[in-house]
Amino acid sequence: SIPLGYFGGLGAASRNGILFKGASFLDAMTKIKILVTDKTGTLTQGVFRIKTIEVHNGWDETRFMAYVKAIEAQSTHPIAKAIQEYDVELEDLEVKNVEEHSGQGLKATINGKTVLAGNAELLNNHNIEVPQSLDAIAETLVLVAIEDQFAGYIVVADALKADAKTAIQKLKEAGVQQTVMLSGDKDSITQQIAQSLGITWAKGGLLPEEKLREVEELQAQGSTKVAFVGDGINDAPVLATADVGIAMGGLGSDVAIETADVIIQNDEPSKVAQAMQIGRSTRKIVW
């Protein structure tokens, strides 16, 4: 039978908007030494906005944006949502053969033309030449190719959550030895954010399966418990593999919430350290 103290702990957690899928995770939370976190939607708000639009190769900006909006209408990615805010008519555009490349972007046929919208890897994989000058831009870009030619890009930006820095600080105070951020976003942006938040180390430009491999490697390195915090559909495999999977419950995807062991209802990353503290207090009562 479950000791009474656990019910107290689960109750205290739930009053604070932290849902545990089982009493055993209260205890597991206290043993976390490595905390791996996703960036977009977990430490950042996950709400992108368009900053600038640059068209190339003679494209008209309105027509260019109509194509991008039409292809991004097929995706639920936070970047796709930002593009949908752009005010342009799509009436004469017929979108077919849509392929979503997880962690990279989209490919489709629009009015018979092959269109790509996503990151540099997506365009590279399709042998599209992208101006080298774009490598130096430490911002998230939606690169667009139409009919095998680079057609331009959109700069999009996301903001940090208000408690992102506090969250990392509190994790250290709660006994986490290593904080790690893994992101599918550009490495330059990932490193910049990691540094500003005081994260131990970070890696960007990762595909979902590469995030999984990083977590498996950390688990293989020792007997320490590895937790993962994430929000997206892409994060489900890592959430399942980590010793404790923690999902953002507000804006988080259904798959992430189903797969996780612990849910943070209001999406505040600082709740992770609070969950560890609640686990610790519970333990004092139980033993």
Q: Is residue 105 near ligand ADP by the rule CB under 6 A?
A: yes
Q: Is residue 37 near ligand ADP by the rule CB under 6 A?
A: no
- CB closer to ligand ADP out of 72 and 261: 72
Question: Locate tokens 């604070």: which residue?
Answer: 16
Helices and strands (H and E) in the chain: how many: 11, 13
- Taking the complex as a whole, the smallest distance from the CB of residue 43 to Mg ion amounts, in Å, to 9
- Taking the complex as a whole, the smallest distance from the CB of residue 253 to Mg ion amounts, in Å, to 9
- Taking the complex as a whole, the smallest distance from the CB of residue 64 to ligand ADP amounts, in Å, to 15
d(CA 146, CA 107): 10
The residue type at 166:
T
Structure tokens at 234: 């892409």
d(CA 206, CA 186): 9
Residue nearest to ligand ADP (CB): 184
- CB closer to Mg ion out of 30 and 75: 75
Residue of 27, 38, 148, 158 marked active site: 38
- CB closer to ligand ADP out of 104 and 274: 104
Give the DSSP letter string of 219-243. Answer: HHH-S-EEEEEE-SGGGHHHHHHSS
Residue 38 annotated in active site: yes
Interface of this chain with ligand ADP, residues 200 to 229, rule: CB under 6 A: none
Give the footprint of Mg ion on this chain (CB under 5 A).
38, 40-41, 231-232
E strand residue ranges, 204-284: 225-230, 244-248, 262-264
Interface of this chain with ligand ADP, residues 165 to 194, rule: CB under 6 A: 183-185
d(CA 209, CA 102): 10
- CB closer to ligand ADP out of 185 and 243: 185
- DSSP state, residue 44: B
d(CA 95, CA 147): 14
d(CA 245, CA 29): 10
Integer Rg of the chain from CA:
21
The site partner of 44 among ligand ADP, Mg ion, none (C-beta below 5 to 8 Å per kind) is none
- Taking the complex as a whole, the smallest distance from the CB of residue 138 to ligand ADP amounts, in Å, to 13
Catalytically annotated residues: 38
Residues lying near ligand ADP in the complex (CB under 6 A) are found at 38-40, 72, 75, 77, 79-80, 103-106, 117-119, 140, 142, 183-185, 232, 234
